[in-house]
Amino acid sequence: MILDDLVAATKRRLTKGKATESLEQVKARAAKVPTKDPQQVYDRFLAPGMHLIGEVKQASPSKGQIASDFPYLDIAKDYDQNGVTAISVLTEPDYFKGDLRYLDEITDEVTVPVLRKDFVVDDYMLYQAKAAGASIVLLIVAILTPQQLHDYFALATKLGLAVLVEAHDETELQQALGLGAKMIGVNNRDLKTFTVSLNNSLNLRKLVPNNIAFIAESGIHDRDNIATLEAAHVNGVLVGETLMRADDKAAKINELLGVTVNDAN
């Protein structure tokens, strides 16, 4: 399964990374970054309306190369200036062609919270995220033991990082709820077949209390998709490929959010 490959690649990369920069060194860098209040992120997503997380990524395992031209800073600024609630930055290099450097540079240039989108399997990665200026980290239930999930959630919170806990089915969702997650992302992609269905979010939304931010991920392409999710009281959507392929990202954001731009001056 692709997740197994991603986890294995991440662990290999961490072994090399720790040889270059020790855990103590990355902790020291993280300590120099002011600690934020993660509740501010959660509150943003619980505010009325549909919230968009715009993703910055070059490639994915399911789609291959998405963006041949990749001015990641300009893309992030476009998102920031046109109504996204947060920005997701892929830092996984082997399958998504991401880089921690992208996160580091983007957080210096935008005003909205930034999510480190990666496959966290070690507390080292949480310290890296804080050191790079991230406000949010992703914890994927499917790749972590219950103890790891608990420990990483607690550490991220201590570091001032909001946590998007990702679930794919009801069993994983119940784990996220039991953890005390304040923001849950439901991935609409079946990790075994790579098929996508918004019904996954629509069905699981009913099981999540309204005081927990609910984010739908994958398979969101147009305004109709978002209107359907909005009607089900989904708080936010994470959109990557659709925005990355759009020539006019500002127009695409407006279209997705149902914003009518008045051209009359």
CB 187 within 8 A of CB 166: yes
- pLDDT tens, the chain, 265 aa long: 678 888 999 999 999 999 999 999 999 999 999 999 999 999 999 999 999 999 998 656 566 566 667 789 999 999 999 999 999 999 998 888 889 999 999 999 999 999 999 999 999 999 999 999 999 999 999 999 999 999 999 999 999 999 999 999 999 999 999 999 999 999 998 776 778 999 999 999 999 999 999 999 999 999 999 999 999 999 999 998 889 888 899 999 999 998 876 543 4
Dihedral sign from CA coordinates of 198, 202, 208, 212? positive
Domains along the sequence of the chain with CATH: 2-257 (3.20.20.70)
C-alpha 50/C-alpha 44 separation (Å) is 11
C-alpha 237/C-alpha 217 separation (Å) is 6
Most distant CA pair in the chain, distance: 59
Hey, is 130 helix, strand or coil?
helix
The angle that helices 72-81 and 100-109 make with each other, rounded to 10 degrees, is 40
- Residue 207 burial class via C-beta count within 10 angstroms: exposed 0-12, middle 13-18, buried 19 and up: middle
Catalytic residue numbers read 55, 57, 117, 166, 187, 217-218
Hey, is 55 helix, strand or coil?
strand
What does R_g of the chain's alpha carbons equal in angstroms?
Answer: 17
